[in-house]
Amino acid sequence: MKEKILLIDDDPHLLNYMEEYLTLDNFSVSAFSSPAKALEAISDIEPALVVSDVKMDELTGDDVLNHLRENHPSIGIILITGFGNIAHSVRAMRKGAFDYITKPFSGEEFSSRINQYFKSPRSIGTSQIIEQESGAKNITENVAGNRKENSTNDILVGDHPSIQKLLSILPQIAPTNAPVMVQGESGTGKEVYANLIQRKSNRADKPFIKINCANLPTELVESTLFGHVKGAFTGATENKKGAFEEANGGTLLLDEVTEIDISLQAKLLRVLQEKEFKRVGSEKVYQTDVRIISTTNRNITEAISDNLFRKDLFFRLNVFPVQIAPLRERKDDIPALAEYFCRKYSEAYKLSPKKISDKLIKRFMKKSWPGNVRELENCIQRGVIMAGEEEELLPKHVDNPLFKGVDDDLTNEVLNDFPVLPIEEMELQMIKKALERTNGNQKEAAKLLKISDRTIRNKLKKIDFPV
């Protein structure tokens, strides 16, 4: 059953963008440009989550939040704003908002934050709201605490020499306390390998704290890492432990560590060197015994050259360097990975076992997989769901423009053709490129882009494009 989401934003372009992205992500979406009308419709729609802009003329996001807490406390809310600041973020999340997303944001980031809500415990009674302290705890679960990992996600599948080497050195790396840096493109399995290290370490029964540095708002990084005391900044109404304090005796995963602002990297380096830190707003020194595992998808050399990452911090984190190869460099592993994910999701959705057709495997082997193993996993998951009780997974179950030929990725093609543009103009460029591909056939172009042909017509009318 599709989860229901209600969107509220008085910017029609952003509203349409969010609606299309969530619809593609298999959510049932109701979109309103009028917050008043949205609140009137809530009882009929019964959404699981409301996503609302903060700054609107008719009502504010705070008004929406207050209405939900008073009248629909079981419905979650995520706020979106281009005017983010820590004080407002703290207030909103203390009042019960699950997350706080600042503009501009990518579709991938937006989808990730929405999906994070549905993966998390979502009871938001008054006692839980009070316990959230500054609210930083709930920002996309950047601090994940002693979260139990699903063991099926902690398997590195593949016979490629690079994968076998990673598995062979695991018994040597895991039992030590030395820092490990795992490098690789997004979706290659960096967090999977980090999980394996922790599970086989001497600290396996100790806290395992995870921080996604890429999703953590800059203004909350220091507080999240080191904690703060009451009154340290506007909205800091209670003392709060940071990740280093929570992870004491265990392991701290700094996911995408190169995204931490360089102004804070010196403080992180000091903690690693001195094994001590101070909470924000306090002079009290805390001792910490934490094993650090870090990941990054950046080119470290370039980041250091561009003064985005400290060389001395890199040397401190890179005691055990680990590199995970992209899927395009180990294509022989694709059949095994596909079979593994097919079995995993058939069992997860309680569907009959499936065999992957040779034709589908051939398609998989031709593709470059820019999203790596994660993209393949998502593709198989979609295919298993679409196949239902059928015994064979076929190309029709995962039909997608990505599989029309080698590297025939419309999105990559368009993005390589023009610089970063406003969302509205980027959408038009995508539509024009799709129309070129389909010789002007709007219905076929809509299928390529996975939007309605009505959406294409409406967008083209705005620029007097012949429709």
Q: Is 190 exposed, middle or buried (0-12, 13-18, 19+ CB in 10 A)?
A: buried
Q: Which of 353, 341, 360, 358 is nearest to 389 (CA)?
A: 353
User: Tell me, what's the pLDDT at 121?
Assistant: 53
**Domains (ranges, CATH) in the chain?**
4-132 (3.40.50.2300), 151-323 (3.40.50.300), 327-403 (1.10.8.60), 410-461 (1.10.10)
- Give dist(CA 258, CA 408) in Å, integer: 31
pTM over 0.75? The answer is no
Q: State both tokens at 1.
A: 């059953």
User: What 3 state SS string does 133-162 have?
Assistant: CCCHHHCCCCCCCCCCCCHHHCCCCCCCHH
Question: How far is residue 268 from each of residues 134, 176, 264, 273, 444, measured CA to CA in Å?
Answer: 21, 21, 7, 9, 52
Backbone phi and psi for residue 296, each to the nearest 5 degrees, phi listed first: -155, 145
User: What 3 state SS string does 36-85 have?
Assistant: HHHHHHHHHHCCCEEEEECCCCCCCHHHHHHHHHHHCCCCEEEEEECCCC
Sign of CA dihedral 384, 388, 389, 394: negative
- Give dist(CA 8, CA 35) in Å, integer: 6
Q: State both tokens at 177.
A: 């306390």
Question: How far is residue 434 from each of residues 22, 162, 442, 445, measured CA to CA in Å?
Answer: 21, 38, 9, 5
User: What 3 state SS string does 291-351 have?
Assistant: EEEEEECCCHHHHHHCCCCCHHHHHHHCCEEEECCCHHHCHHHHHHHHHHHHHHHHHHCCC
- Give dist(CA 454, CA 437) in Å, integer: 18
User: DSSP label at 256?
Assistant: T
Q: Which of 5, 18, 6, 10 is nearest to 34 (CA)?
A: 10
Backbone phi and psi for residue 330, each to the nearest 5 degrees, phi listed first: -140, 55
User: Tell me, what's the pLDDT at 181?
Assistant: 97
Q: State both tokens at 336.
A: 């095994």
Cβ-contact 99, 140 below 8 angstroms: yes
Cβ-contact 180, 293 below 8 angstroms: yes
User: Tell me, what's the pLDDT at 30?
Assistant: 94
Could you list the pLDDT tens digit for every one of the 467 residues in the chain? 578 999 999 888 788 888 888 887 888 999 999 999 999 999 999 999 999 988 888 888 888 998 998 888 889 999 887 654 445 655 676 677 887 787 767 777 788 888 888 876 543 332 233 233 333 333 333 333 333 333 335 678 888 999 999 999 999 999 999 999 999 998 899 999 999 999 999 999 999 999 988 777 766 788 889 988 888 877 777 888 889 999 999 999 999 999 898 888 999 999 999 999 999 888 999 999 999 999 999 889 999 999 999 999 999 999 999 999 999 999 999 999 999 999 988 888 888 899 999 999 999 998 889 889 998 998 898 889 888 889 999 988 887 544 444 334 444 444 444 444 556 666 777 777 777 677 677 777 777 777 777 777 777 766 555 54
Q: Which residues contact 235 (CB under 8 A, 6 or more apart)?
A: 86, 87, 89, 90, 91, 94, 134, 135
User: Tell me, what's the pLDDT at 208?
Assistant: 93
